Amino acid sequence: MSEHGGPPVSEPAKGGAAGGAHPLSLDAPVAVRSLDMSQGFPDLKLPPARSGAPYRGLAVLVRSGDEPIGWLWVEAPATGEVTAEVLERACREQLAPGSGEAQSEPAPPRRAGSEQPQVPPAFVSHVITTCNQAPAVVRCMRAIIASESGPFELIVVENRPAHSTVRDVLRSAFPGDDRIRACDEPIPGLSRARNAGFRAARGTIVAFTDDDILVDPGWSGSVRQAFADYPDVSCVTGPILPAELETPAEMLMERFATLGKGFVRRAYSLDRPPESEEQPLFPYTAGYFGSGGNAAFRLDALFALGGFDLALGTGTPARGGEDLDIFIRLILAGRTLLYEPGAVVWHPHPDTMKRLSSEVFDYGVGLGAMLTKQLVAGPHRFRMIEKIPGGLGYLFGPGSRKNASKGPDYPSRLDRREQVGLAMGPAAYARSRWQERRLNAARGRL
């Protein structure tokens, strides 16, 4: 558990490998902590790792009060004793001004305090999707409730309702709480479940969270504040940080595709694109924008976009890509997405090599399916064709930002699994679209 009250953590300061510090330099197990530098750094005595072995490293999410500042990677001695002096020195070296990634484009104009309208806090509908994972759902919900500071509701969408115990467990865990509702989406697919959730929502803001995520205590406040301060923003995302780094597979996942995108507030829109040197494929490198497990939307934006694409996402042949797709569609529709570093959530990485290999493959399929959808049906598909050469370099070039963080000893078999998945993406998307047409045809005959 963190020293700050949330689960433990990942991400170099300001989104980059600050001061050369990087998970490449550490071997599992690595302890994860969250510390408030405004209260000074403590001497830490690390317990044994989950395996019983001593921790070999320490990853620290550094905050100043509630604001995340950056990420430290520190070697841990066999004694498990990491002194305040070591932490302070690492902070100076790794989080020094200029060591991180500069903000490429400022966020849209923030309302000044005197301009804040005196209106009630927004009503937020939290949508949690699950497949009969009742204990995880309850943990997720308790964390959301603890983080809330305004009016809200919790909508749990069961995507595997046959024999599900979720409703019974919710009644037992939250008796008489009318803020909690459950609904079923019997047709498999994460996009279907999320769409069912937002269509049942009564709030003006809809925040999506996966059942295995634990939100940080300040998460809800950060999301609410972002929407209040930036009235032109239609979507807010934030860092998804690993709950633990106990195994080699978890460390490899951190090198493959860290889900935390740094700690710099960024706005993404067509009229404020990032520098081409940083994101040459904008807006198609949607992984920069965040992930669907930590994304909140204005309800009117979701309806205007038609929700998540039913041919994409976990539970379909496409296996994923639905969140990247909706981020791209939102930006291409002329709307603004804000990455808010204070909206932190914690998520487990795959802890075995088998699970990691499967997740890497699924990621490749989902990415390939999403890119195929944008290429054949996207509103700017002809402009996208011009980006294909640069896209190939980004996906496969060892020096690209996507691949540089993996390091020279990253297993080539995982690269091959991702590439095979990517190659299968077009066929997976075609199959998913075919299944969707058959389903719609069958409904039309009823």
The model's confidence at residue 119, banded by pLDDT at 50, 70 and 90, is low
The model's confidence at residue 272, banded by pLDDT at 50, 70 and 90, is confident
With 90 as the cut, is the pLDDT of residue 99 above it? Answer: no
pLDDT at residue 442 in the model: 84
Cβ atoms of residues 151 and 121 within 8 Å: yes
Domain-wise residue ranges, the chain: 13-94, 122-351
pLDDT by residue (tens digit) across 132-170?
Answer: 999 999 999 999 999 999 999 999 999 999 999 999 999
pLDDT at residue 110 in the model: 62
The model's confidence at residue 105, banded by pLDDT at 50, 70 and 90, is very low
Ranges of H-type helices in 74-127:
84-94
Question: How far apart (Å, rounded) are the C-alpha atoms in residues 255 and 327?
Answer: 23
pLDDT by residue (tens digit) across 218-260?
Answer: 999 999 999 999 999 999 999 999 999 999 999 999 888 765 5
Is the four-CA dihedral 49, 52, 54, 56 of positive or negative sign?
A: negative
pLDDT by residue (tens digit) across 312-350?
Answer: 999 999 999 999 999 999 999 999 999 999 999 999 999
pLDDT at residue 269 in the model: 95
Print the SS3 string covering 256-291: HHCCCCCCCCEEEECCECCCCCCCCCCCCCHHHHCC
With 60 as the cut, is the pLDDT of residue 4 above it? Answer: no
pLDDT at residue 3 in the model: 40
Q: 95-99, 173-177, 286-290: which has the highest mean pLDDT?
A: 173-177
Domain 122-351 fold is: Spore Coat Polysaccharide Biosynthesis Protein SpsA; Chain A (3.90.550)
Global confidence as pTM: 0.89
Question: How far apart (Å, rounded) are the C-alpha atoms in residues 60 and 335?
Answer: 35
User: Six-digit token pair at 95?
Assistant: 């989080």
The model's confidence at residue 111, banded by pLDDT at 50, 70 and 90, is low
